[in-house]
Amino acid sequence: MTTPTPPSAIKDLIVYSDEVREALANGKPVVALESTIITHGMPFPKNVETARDVEADIRAEGAVPATIALMDGKIMVGLSDADLDRLAQARDVMKCSRADLTFALATGRYGATTVAATMMAAHAAGLKVFATGGIGGVHKGAEESFDISADLDELGRTPVCVVSAGAKALLDIPKTLEVLETKGVPVIAFGTEELPAFWSRASGLKAPYSLNSAAEIGTLLKMRSRFPDHGGVLIANPVPDTAQIPRDEMTGYIDAAIADAAAKGIRGKEVTPFVLGAILELTGGRSLDTNIALVRNNARLAARIAAELV
């Protein structure tokens, strides 16, 4: 197997790490990772420690991690230790979704990729599986604010398997599911009939579909790839039971954080980071521990899925 050739228009923008290039050339499974968890998710050095732990989890499953970020006008597919440290300590890093990716590249700004931008870059680089924490979705009150994450459009158009712990629980999950259905995105709960809700294993909602093994997911992805112009697949992988914050408890924290954001006039892109910060404070740091546990859990599953596709 040879390294995938990116579309000619952006071939010169993609820089593979030596590890990722070698893996692709030798037919080894590769898992894409986002970079906003590094730059916007937690402070240094916890961000670097977590990123390296997630990469180690993927390697332990026999796959190769490819953390994606925008640096020096290039799309980096896989970061060296030096690049990871450089990104983790950089200031004023752009949080890049689809609308921001080309701006960061054109201006040479450092950019951390969200779910949408990571999917774009992963697909262009020939990667089929991406592990993250949780996707964005329809915000509560979106019928007035129209605040809907670009992640949903990206899932509808870009054929990458996204392994998550479901949509972030601060969102309107029923409306998020409706939008994903409209966009033709299969939502697959892993090992459960109930849709997980990020910090909690339960959401109170039945999952549209359920599969119980990486092999079953691999079979689905292979079948879906036979149809032209298909979009992504969302895997909803419950957080480990020992790390979860139960739904009833978590709901109180989320409601309080959202109310605080509304009272302070927080809007648009600033809502999610504000609410996550408020939840971190309300839970005494437990939400961050849960977030790390679910990301690592998703990375391990993504590596097993990627192995089914080589």
Q: How far is CA 112 from CA 79, 84, 87, in A?
A: 12, 11, 8
Task: From the candidates 55, 154, 168, 308, give the one annotated as an active-site residue.
Answer: 168
Question: Are the beta carbons of 54 and 64 closer than 8 angstroms?
Answer: no
Secondary structure of residue 95 in the 3-state scheme? strand
Q: What's the angle, vertex CA 250, arms to CA 276 and CA 209, rounded to 5? A: 95
Secondary structure of residue 178 in the 3-state scheme? helix
C-alpha neighbours within 13 Å on the C-beta side of residue 109: 16
Task: From the candidates 19, 34, 55, 154, give the one annotated as an active-site residue.
Answer: 34
Residues 301 and 122: their CA atoms lie apart, in Å, by: 17
The reply to whether 194 belongs to the active site is: no
Angle, in degrees to the nearest 10, between helices 46-60 and 81-89: 150
Q: Which two tokens stand for residue 104?
A: 């960061």
The reply to whether 34 belongs to the active site is: yes
Residues 253 and 12: their CA atoms lie apart, in Å, by: 46
Q: Which two tokens stand for residue 214?
A: 């990486």
Active site residues: 34, 168
